[in-house]
A and B are shown apart, each in its own frame.
Chain A
Amino acid sequence: MMRGVKKRGSGPGAESLEDLSDEELMARFQKGESEALNHILARYGKPLFGFLYRQTGSRERAEDAYQEVFVKVIRAAGNYESSSRFAAWLFTIARNVCIDLSRREKHRMTSSLDAAAWDDAETTRLELVADQGPDPEADLRATELCEALERALARLSPEQREVFLLRERSGLSFKEIARITNSPLNTVKTRMHYALIKLRELLVQEGVAELDG
């Protein structure tokens, strides 16, 4: 989750790129410091890829979208204004790329995905939990839990999933999400609320032990 990542103490003497805020990193990148992009990728690579992966329902499409997003970031870097929050800007691009991708490929987003459609992502999920510890049983439980969570996410409506991912995985505020999705703030909050209720129902159906019905 990206919350808390935004500002990293850019006080006097903070010369290391690691210490800069996202916006300051972008400013450096605008000035030609390519290394700043490395730091941006380190901060946002995973959450962005996760967003794209869950929105497109496929690792391959997520990789295409991921490249496209950063190509646009590079191209539009000169247009970025540091007064706007980088995360919101980045995920706006990501969302547009997803929309564009879905139109180009006539691919209905993961709303149509059922559990079987996620089989191609099996390896990914196993990879995700493979390094979680030496206890095979715990690994298995973690794997099963991750699979259940991914399945539940895939069964949300596209609008609910989008809001949920932008809020919980990307750390955007509801106001930012409302701007990005061009939706009223209350609509965004309602989607989030219903997304949580639906996720819980789905997880209870899946028998996830951590939920007590």
Chain B
Amino acid sequence: MTEHVKDELLDLIEGELSAKRRGEVLDHLASCPECARERERLEQTLALFSRLPDPEPPADLNRGIVARAQKVRQQKVWWKRMFVPPLAAAALAVIAVSVATLVTKEKTHEKLAPEPAPALAMKEKAAPPRLDLLAPELLESAAPPGLDPEAGEGLGELAPAPALPEPEEDPEVEEPPEVAMADESPGATVSPVEAVEDHDLVETDEVLAWMLLDEPSAPPDPDLPVEVALADPAPPPPPAAARTDAAVAEEPAAWDETRSKSLPAPKVELDEPAPTRPADPAPPATMAPAVEDEVHEERTRGRASPGRVLLRAELTRAGRGCDAALPLFLEALELLGYDDEAGESGPAQCGRSLDRAVAGTAECRREAGDEESALELEAWHRQSCPLR
């Protein structure tokens, strides 16, 4: 009986016993000095800790959080007013062109080339959005995979994947993409679908626009573009022969910067065969095994590879600005072996990636007004970094 009551002392103290049981336990305590003593000890300990004050969060943190909330709110309004209607219009245009193209192709196939044409048509339908057209600035900041093994890992996967919306179009600008979340409770975003479902800005019209225009156009979750990029096994750009556009057919290489600058971005969605994606925004279902394994491994390890983090940093900077990208640049630096605290470098992984991570971090610091810290980092990198 004594042991049993000891087990219930905590409930008694915390007021979690039923009235009846509480009475019984109190009766027992009146006649059992040992249990009464134990109760006193527990209460003493709790009382001591109730005197321990909580540390105050820095006031500037709170101000920053409120400012961020206001900014998100303003951008949400801006997004809805300025971006969604044109998106919907573009979606309708894409659908119309898509239907017309498909009908024309069907007729052409029947008349002229029944065998190879369906395959080509399928390829065109599945052709991923071209990053060079949608976001050429990303290509300028990201190196070709062949030049940078670390970044190449991420770029190779991301090149054919959906691009981020224009900076102003992104309704949420602050949150760096999450590397991995272990839990499915609130605060943990794992899959693109969850990211969409969890997002407060995903409203009916925006989801509709996204579904109609395929991934690149819209999921307005800041995490989503990267998550989709990681999860969606979008095929590499189809061979030039498979494209109908003559200009595209002459494309010398996927990373041809000159070409990406020369083509007008706004035309891309009408020039490209319209996506015929069904209304099912569930990229994980189509995740290729290799990518799936890699993502799983990343999550298991709890962090991403340096190249991937660096690419995320660059995408974030392009889409949401330096403020949001800085933590990712710092994470990339850390992964690359540069210890910001000690000013030492760990095992070299890739000098070029480090160069870009340092440059990105310095730029972010500079934009945040911390010129001194940016200069210090650059000076260290120039003079002392053993990787150079």
Contact = CB atoms under 8 A, between A and B. Distances in A.
On whether the two chains bind one another, the answer is: yes
Interface string B1-37: 0000001011100101000000000000000000000
A20 to B, nearest CB: 17
A96 interface: yes
Contacts of B16: 173-174
24 contacts: A34-B66, A34-B69, A62-B55, A67-B61, A74-B174, A75-B199, A79-B199, A92-B185, A92-B187, A94-B187, A96-B182, A99-B183, A100-B182, A124-B55, A127-B55, A169-B54, A192-B10, A196-B10, A196-B46, A200-B41, A200-B44, A203-B48, A210-B44, A211-B45
B175 A149 contact: no
Contact of B187 (A45, A50, A97): A97
Contact of A38 (B64, B66, B302): B66
B188 interface: yes
B244 to A, nearest CB: 40
* A-B pairs, 6 with minimum CB distance: A78-B200, A103-B302, A50-B54, A93-B187, A49-B57, A96-B187
Contact of B49 (A32, A99, A189, A199): A199
Contacts of B9: 193
B282 interface: no
B181 interface: yes
A30 B52 contact: no
Interface residues of B, number: 56
Interface in B39-71: 41-42, 44-46, 48-58, 61-62, 64-66, 68-70
Contact of A76 (B51, B180, B198): B198
A63 B182 contact: no
Contacts of A168: 46, 49-50
A212 B37 CA distance: 11
Nearest to B301: A103
Contacts of B58: 63
Contacts of B172: 75
A106 B302 contact: yes
Contacts of B46: 168, 196
Nearest to B324: A71
B175 A72 contact: yes
B49 A37 contact: no
A27 B199 CA distance: 16
A40 B78 CA distance: 26
B10 A103 contact: no
A17 interface: no
A45 B58 CA distance: 9
B331 interface: yes
A213 B265 CA distance: 76
Contacts of B186: 72, 76, 79-80, 89, 92-93, 96
B326 to A, nearest CB: 11
A128 interface: yes
Contact of A129 (B45, B53, B197): B53
A42 to B, nearest CB: 8
A178 interface: no
Nearest to B178: A100
Contact of B66 (A41, A53, A75, A193): A41
A147 to B, nearest CB: 10
A136 to B, nearest CB: 18
Contacts of B42: 196, 200
B155 to A, nearest CB: 22
Contacts of A89: 186
Contacts of B183: 95-96, 99
Interface centre among A29, A30, A38 (most CB of B within 10 A): A38
Given A37-B69, A41-B62, A41-B65, A103 B199 contact: no
B72 interface: yes
Contact of A128 (B55, B180, B303): B55
Given A46-B55, A49-B56, A174-B14, A211 B200 contact: no
